[in-house]
């Protein structure tokens, strides 16, 4: 006979269906790991409007008849080797310490059944012990930073050989090169090759991550090099709030104030467009954190861990 306590405390993954919108959003809003930038009704509408492919990734976590968390689980199609992905993982504050461990174990079982070799996971730092115990290797720690657009920092002039202009659709190729060069060797170098960086630049401009905001996106050119950009800032809307997706400077042009210039120029333009707030996701313990603090950004959300695990065959 099965132990009744075991049955009561076990966690079941159930596919989140279109009619589960209110439950999904309720769990999201009750968790300790969310920033609420939009009304509950807007979250429910966004849930219902997702395409079927993304709907199929959603799972609610249940203990008996009580929802205690939610996550997304799917196989990534853009990886060189078949990879399972677990993200969007949150739990209710009182879900219990064993829930995270059960979720990690179930994810590994599902990944093995799908024949994948890698699992990538994104999860709140509060669940670090459960993932570490399952031999997940931490890749980077990220958090949300928020700033007011009422910025008083002056806009210092750049060297005369640098020209700043608004971004255009024709900048995709050079943006890919810039992103690859800017992130090379660091924790944010998340793409395998130049083609993937160009694909991300194109996806941003096409609105894949949220409506693109070209009016406040700028690129920097040098008069002696028309083939490579010196810097850029890319912004899109995320749930109605402007988000700086990338603000990068090529290695050769660092330490001359270019990053600060781009930040001030971008935030000033957002203020002119009547946006009161701007946010970004930042990897912790990198030099750029200090720049964002100078621009008025403060940490405003939980810390998330990105990690991976290689499954044995």
- pLDDT tens digits, 65-79: 999 999 999 998 766
Strand pairing report for 118-124 and 225-238? unpaired
Written out in words, the top-level CATH class of the domain with range 4-135 is alpha beta
Contacts of range 36-42, beta carbons closer than 8 Å, 24 or more positions apart: 37/238, 37/239, 37/240, 37/241, 37/279, 38/239, 38/240, 42/239, 42/240
Mean pLDDT of 273-295: 95
d(C-alpha 119, C-alpha 275), whole Å: 38
Task: Specify the DSSP class assigned to residue 12.
Answer: E
Predicted TM-score (pTM) of this structure:
0.86
CA triple 146-270-48, angle to 5 deg: 70
- pLDDT tens digits, 136-189: 999 999 999 999 999 999 999 999 999 999 999 999 999 999 999 999 999 999
User: What are the b/e assignments for 120-139, b being 16+ CB within 10 Å?
Assistant: bbbbbebbbebbeebebeeb
Tokens of 299: 């940490």
Identify each DSSP E strand in 104-249 by its residue range: 118-124, 137-148, 162-166, 218-222, 225-238, 241-249
- The SS3 call for residue 140 is strand
Contacting residues for 76 by C-beta, under 8 A, at least 6 apart: 82, 83, 84, 85, 120
Residue 29's pLDDT is: 87
Residue 81's pLDDT is: 76
d(C-alpha 127, C-alpha 130), whole Å: 6
In the chain, CATH 3.40.630.30 covers: 4-135, 146-301
Give 209: exposed, middle or buried? Use CB within 10 Å, 0-12, 13-18, 19+.
middle
**Mean pLDDT computed over every residue of the chain:** 92
Give 113: exposed, middle or buried? Use CB within 10 Å, 0-12, 13-18, 19+.
exposed
CA triple 251-254-256, angle to 5 deg: 155
Residue 36's pLDDT is: 60
Reduce the secondary structure of 15-81 to three states and give it as a string: ECCHHHHHHHHHHHHHCCCCCCCCCHHHHHHHHHHCCHHHHCCEEEEEECCEEEEEEEEEEECCCCC
**Is residue 2 predicted with pLDDT exceeding 50?**
no
Q: Which is nearest to 158 in space by CA: 289, 262, 295? A: 262
Task: Specify the DSSP class assigned to residue 165.
Answer: E
In CATH terms, the fold of domain 146-301 is Aminopeptidase (3.40.630)
């Amino acid at each position: 006979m099965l132990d009744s306590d075991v049955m009561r405390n076990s966690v079941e993954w159930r596919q989140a269906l279109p009619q589960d919108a209110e439950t999904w959003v309720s769990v999201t809003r009750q968790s300790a790991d969310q920033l609420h930038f939009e009304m509950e009704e807007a979250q429910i509408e966004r849930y219902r409007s997702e395409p079927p492919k993304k709907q199929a990734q959603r799972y609610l976590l249940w203990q008996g008849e009580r929802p205690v968390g939610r996550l997304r689980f799917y196989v990534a199609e853009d990886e060189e080797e078949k990879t399972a992905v677990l993200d969007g993982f949150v739990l209710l504050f009182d879900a219990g310490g064993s829930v995270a461990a059960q979720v990690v174990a179930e994810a590994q079982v599902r990944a093995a059944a799908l024949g994948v070799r890698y699992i990538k996971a994104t999860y709140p730092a509060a669940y670090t012990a459960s993932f570490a115990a399952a031999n997940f290797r931490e890749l980077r720690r990220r958090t949300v930073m928020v700033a007011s657009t009422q910025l008083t920092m002056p806009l210092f002039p750049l060297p005369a050989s640098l020209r700043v202009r608004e971004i255009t659709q024709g900048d995709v190729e050079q943006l890919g090169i810039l992103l690859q060069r800017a992130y090379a060797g660091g924790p944010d170098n998340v793409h395998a090759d130049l083609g993937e960086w160009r694909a991300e630049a194109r996806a941003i401009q096409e609105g894949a991550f949220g409506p693109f905001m070209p009016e406040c996106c700028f690129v920097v050119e040098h008069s002696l090099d028309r083939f490579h950009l010196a810097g850029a800032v890319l912004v899109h809307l995320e749930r109605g709030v402007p988000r700086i997706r990338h603000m990068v400077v090529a290695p050769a042009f660092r330490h001359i104030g270019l990053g600060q210039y781009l930040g001030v120029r971008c935030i000033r333009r957002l203020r002119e467009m009547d946006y009161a707030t701007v946010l970004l996701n930042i990897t912790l313990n990198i030099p750029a954190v200090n720049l964002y603090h100078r621009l008025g950004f403060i940490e405003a959300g939980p810390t998330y861990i990105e990690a991976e695990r290689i499954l044995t065959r």
